[in-house]
Amino acid sequence: MTVVIDASFDPVPSLSRSIDVTVGAASEQASPESAAAVFVGSEGELPGVLADSGLTREALAAAGFTAAANQTLVVPGSPLRVLVGTGERGITTAAALRDAVAAFTRAAKEVGALTVDLSEAIASGLDAGTAAQAAVEGAVLARYRYDALKSDPKTVLLESLALTVAEGDSDAAQSGVDRGLVLARTASLSRDLANTPPRHLNAVKFAEVISELAPQFGLEVEVFDRQQLMDLGTGGLLGVNAGSTEEPRMIKISYRPDQGGDDAAHLALIGKGIMYDSGGISLKPSNAMHAAMKFDMMGAAGVFSSMTALRDLGAQTAVTGWLMCTDNMPSGSATKLGDVLTIRGGTTVEVKNTDAEGRLVMADGLVLATEEAHRPDAIVDIATLTGAAQAALGTRTAAMLANNDDVSAQLLAAADATDETTWRLPLDHRYRDQLKSNVADLSNIGGQYGGAILAGLFLNEFVDGIPWGHLDIAGTMQSESDDLWRSTGSTGFGARLLAEFATAFEKPSTEVE
C-alpha cells in the first residue's frame, strides 16, 4: 500500500480518556474554575442564585434568553454560570435532562470541569439513579469530538463532572453515574469506529481491533478469513466482497454470563459491516455525502460496542454477535447485475442492484445464528440498510420491523430508555411477491416503493422461524452538525439501545408472523 498511515494511529481514542465524576452536596462541588449549570423554566420565579445576583426576567429577555427548552445563556463569573432553559414543562424525563445537560456542556465548551445540580430534577419525580445516568450521558456525549487525525485538535476535553444531589440520594446517584459512564463509553466507542476513515479501518483491521479489545470486556472472539468463509458457503458476503482488493472478515463475538446454563436466555445480534460502500457496479453518485459511506459499518460497530457493556451492566443473557464485514467496490471482478449468489444454507439470490448489498451479507449471518447448537431465543439485526427508511422517518427515528411482538416491545422499551427513537413498520407479507426472481429463489430488491419493508421481508426469509427484530439505522447514522448530545459525524445510534435491550432481555413468545 502506497498510502502512509501512522503506525501509532488509534482507531478508538475514546477508550483512553477518563472523566472524574463525583456525587455530593452543593457545598462540596464549588470550584472557581468550573462551569455550573443553572436550569431556568420559562415561567415562575427565577432560581435563587439568579435572583440573589439581581437578575430579572426582563434583563434575561433583553439578552435574548426566554428559557425555551435547551436555550443557553453564558453569565461570566467565577464559577462561570450557564443558564439552560427548560421551557414550560421543566425537566421531568431522562431524555429532557440528558438534552439539557448536553446543551449546557456545549455552551461551556471551553471549560473542562462542569457542575450540575440534579436536586430539582429529582424533586420533579426523576429517580436519582436515572437522573445521574442521563446527566453523565448528556455531558460525555456532547463533549465527544472525533479529532484523531487532526494535527492540532482544539477540543477541550471533559475532565470532571460534579453532580449535586441530596445526601439520601447519593448511593442511587452513584449507581447511575457508573451506568452512565458505561453507556457513554459504549456510544463513544461506536462513534470512534464509524468515524475512522475506511483506509484506516478496513475489515481486516476491524477484526484485529476487536480481537485486541474484546478480552478487556469479557468477550471471546473468533475471526473468519476469506478461505474459511468459502468453506462456510457464505456466498452473500463473498459476493459483495468480489470487487474489492481487501479481504472480507466475519467476526463472531461471544458473551457468556457467569451464571446460567443451557436454560439461560440466548440472544443473537447481527451487524452489517460494510466498511465503505461505493455501491459496487451500481455506483453511487460522487458528492460530499459519499464520504458518509464509511458509516455503512455502523451496525457492526454498534453490535460490538454494545457487547462491551454487557459485563459491566450485569447482563445475564448469553449474547452472540455476528459482524459481517467487507467493503463494496466496483472492479473487473465485482458482482454484476444479474449474477446469482448462494447464501449459507443454499438459498439463491439474483442481484438486481449491487447497492442493495447489506441484506446479502446479513443473510449469511442470520443463517449462521440459527444454526448455533444453543439456538437463540431471539435474533436482532442492525444495519444502515435503506434510504427508504430515511425518506419515511427522517434522521432522528430509525425503522424497526419484527416478526414477534415481544421482541418489538423490548426493542421499543430500550429505544425509549436511550432516546434513540425507533418506529415499528409493518412486516407486510403482501409485498413478498416483489422479491421473486425468474432465475433464483429471491431477488435482492423489490419494487419502487416500500423499500424498508421489502428489505425486512428479505431478511425475514433467513431467520428460520426464530423471533426476530430488525433495526434500519440508515437515517440516524450521522449528524451533520452538533445537536445536543449528538455530535457531528457518527451518532453511534444503536450501541446504547442494544446494550439496554440485551441487559433487560427476556425470552419472547415463540409466535412469529
Residues marked active site are found at: 284, 359
Q: Is 226 helix (H, G, I), strand (E, B) or coil?
A: helix
Report yes or no: 460 and 362 within 8 Å, Cβ to Cβ. no
**Residue 264 carries which DSSP code?**
S
- CA dist 163 and 467 (Å) reads 41
| Cα separation, 121 vs 144, whole angstroms | 24
In our burial notation (b when 16+ CB lie closer than 10 A, e otherwise), range 164-185 reads bbeeebbebbbbbbbbbbbbbb
Q: Are 379 and 405 in contact (CB under 8 A)?
A: no
Do 441 and 235 contact (CB within 8 A), yes or no?
no
Give the C-alpha separation, 166 to 118, whole Å: 9
Q: How far apart are CA 197 and CA 301, in angstroms?
A: 14
In 236-352 the beta strands, taken as DSSP E runs, fall at 249-255, 266-277, 318-328, 340-342, 348-350
CA dist., res. 380 & res. 366, Å (int) = 9
CB atoms within 10 A of CB 418: 25
Strands across the sheet containing 378-383: 220-224, 249-255, 318-328, 266-277, 378-383, 468-472, 398-402, 422-424
